Amino acid sequence: MKSIGSVYMAEALEQEKCPICYLNRKAEHDYIFWFLYEKVNDSGIRSMWRQSGGFCHKHSWSLHDVASEPHCAGELGVAILYKDLIENVFLANSTQKRKREECFLCAMERDVESRNIDFFIKELEDEDFREKYSGSHGLCIPHFFMILSISDDRGKAFLEGVQKNRMEDLFFRLSEYIRKHDYRFSHEFKENERNSWKDAIRLFAGERNERD
């Protein structure tokens, strides 16, 4: 019987995006949803919130977008959190410059990413997983090199082979995209060629936060 981690990783491979990026974003979304639904009035969480002066820029807007989802109804929680921040940090210490602690979602994000990478490497030992990965969207370049640096020789050889095939495919699609901007060939465009420039950004930079 497969573990829940294997189930999540298999789900990630079915997405048209880097599986590590996908799992990282999913964990971020699920944590913020849980945070708004269950932990707004938790004294320990509220203390961390005050110490960090709220979330960082990235996670503040993630908070905004999760709270705005129709099934979340988290706007009230956000209002409570920021009222608390203004009252207990900025109004209470209006003349005192405070050192902000790190956004605790950033710390969580690093931990989640590390665990997802470790689990991915473990899954590489499974033949069925390798087959699924070969037919998937594959890793973005940042996660590819992170995983490559800590994989064994067998894992490195496999990942490098798959990545080479993916690079060659993208190179061909980019070449066709450029060629077909000549009016003589513009009628030959295929959909995967039209999206090739976007795929290149996603490959080299990693998946964007879908709430950006």
- Residues of the chain short of pLDDT 50, as ranges, are 211-212
Indicate the residue type of 45.
I
pLDDT of the residue at 5 = 82
CB neighbourhood size of 80 (10 A): 14
Position 211 scores a pLDDT of 47
Domain enclosing residue 101, as ranges: 4-205
- Tell how many helices (H) and how many strands (E) occur in the chain: 11, 0
**What pLDDT, on the 0 to 100 scale, is given for residue 212?**
44
Task: Check the CA dihedral 12-17-18-22 and report its sign.
Answer: negative
Distance, in Å, from the CA atom of 83 to the CA atom of 77, rounded to the nearest integer, reads 10
State how far the Cα of 115 lies from the Cα of 113, in Å rounded to an integer.
5
Any idea what DSSP says for residue 190?
A: -
Q: Is residue 105 part of a domain?
A: yes
pLDDT for the residue 147: 97
212 part of a folded domain: no
197 within a domain of the structure (yes/no): yes
- How many domains does the chain divide into? 1
Predicted pLDDT of residue 76? 93
Classify residue 142: in a domain, yes or no: yes
Question: What pLDDT was estimated at residue 91?
Answer: 86
What φ, ψ does residue 127 adopt, rounded to 5°?
A: -60, -40
Q: In this predicted structure, what is the pLDDT of residue 185?
A: 75
Which tokens hold the place of 106?
A: 């950033």
> Does residue 210 belong to any structural domain of this protein?
no
User: What are the distances in angstroms from CA 157 to CA 148, 151, 183?
Assistant: 9, 9, 42
pTM here is: 0.85
Length of the chain: 212
* Residue 85 located in a structural domain: yes
Instruction: Give domain status of residue 88, yes or no.
Output: yes
The alpha carbons of the chain give a radius of gyration, in whole angstroms, of 22
